[in-house]
């Protein structure tokens, strides 16, 4: 549903109108809680933060301090916060445990996931990257994890993209450099990183 390029009130309104009334209300309520949590979050865990830095710097080619690196990190924080508030308010979601990442740990040559895994320049880091991105990039896998409909998630990200693009315009950055589809992917990344932190018993920084 999300469009390319800059995203304003008119485009967001059109996208949200495509949702059912129930999904529109649900997406807005989820976003309001997510925004409140993201404002006090700070950042994901140390492992998650290193993962984000490497993703933004090397995958998206946004060096730290560049005009787009902070909005990109904010999108990750939004996804991370969305998982936190969702797990708190929904009785059908349970926190992840070591069982949920058993295949990741088993695939690690040292049998553990920690800061050294993400700092590694070889197979340990690549294994972790592949595991996380396979859960963010595959819609069927991601929506199974999030236990929500794609349209509800699209509603959440519509609100988030509108906020992030508005902040970018206020700071004379170019929203088209971070299109809605990219911000959506970064929010999914944040959501999955929070699940990983749940399993590892890691708290936000």
State in Å, rounded, how far the first CA of the chain is from the last one.
Answer: 33
Q: CB of 98 within 8 A of CB of 201? A: no
Q: How confident is the model at residue 8 (pLDDT cuts 50, 70, 90)?
A: low
**Domain boundaries along the sequence of the chain:** 9-200
**Spatial distance between the Cα atoms of 67 and 168, rounded to a whole number of angstroms:** 8
Sorted by sequence, the CB contacts under 8 Å of residue 74 that are 6+ apart come out as 38, 164, 167
| Residue 199: HSE in the Cβ half-sphere, 13 Å Cα cutoff | 21
Q: What is the pLDDT of residues 27-74, one digit of tens each?
A: 999 999 999 999 998 778 999 999 998 888 877 888 778 888 889 999
pLDDT of 7 strictly over 70: no
pLDDT of 16 strictly over 50: yes
Write the CA distances from 131 to 17, 106, 108, 177, 178, integer angstroms: 35, 12, 11, 27, 24
**Nearest by Cα to 145 from 72, 204, 82:** 82
Strand segments, DSSP code E, in 17-96 are none
Judge residue 107's burial from the number of C-beta atoms within 10 Å of its C-beta, 0-12 exposed, 13-18 middle, 19 or more buried. Answer: middle
Q: What is the pLDDT of residues 104-155, one digit of tens each?
A: 999 999 999 999 999 998 999 999 999 999 999 999 999 999 999 999 999 9
């Amino acid at each position: 549903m999300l469009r390319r390029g800059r995203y304003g009130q008119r485009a967001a309104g059109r996208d949200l109108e495509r949702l059912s009334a129930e999904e529109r209300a649900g997406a807005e309520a989820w976003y309001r809680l997510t925004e409140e949590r993201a404002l006090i979050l700070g950042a994901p865990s140390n492992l998650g933060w290193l993962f984000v830095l490497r993703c933004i710097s090397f995958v998206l080619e946004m060096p730290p301090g560049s005009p787009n690196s902070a909005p990109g990190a904010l999108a990750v924080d939004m996804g991370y916060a969305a998982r936190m508030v969702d797990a708190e308010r929904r009785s059908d979601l349970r926190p992840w445990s070591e069982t949920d990442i058993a295949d990741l740990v088993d695939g690690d040559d040292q049998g553990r996931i920690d800061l050294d895994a993400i700092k590694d320049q070889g197979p340990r880091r690549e294994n972790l990257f592949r595991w996380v991105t396979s859960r963010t990039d595959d819609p069927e896998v991601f929506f199974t994890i999030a236990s929500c409909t794609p349209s509800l998630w699209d509603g959440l990200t519509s609100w988030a993209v509108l906020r992030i693009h508005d902040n970018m315009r206020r700071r004379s950055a170019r929203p088209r450099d971070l299109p809605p589809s990219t911000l959506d992917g970064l929010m999914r990344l944040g959501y999955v990183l929070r699940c990983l932190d749940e399993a590892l018993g890691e708290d936000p920084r």
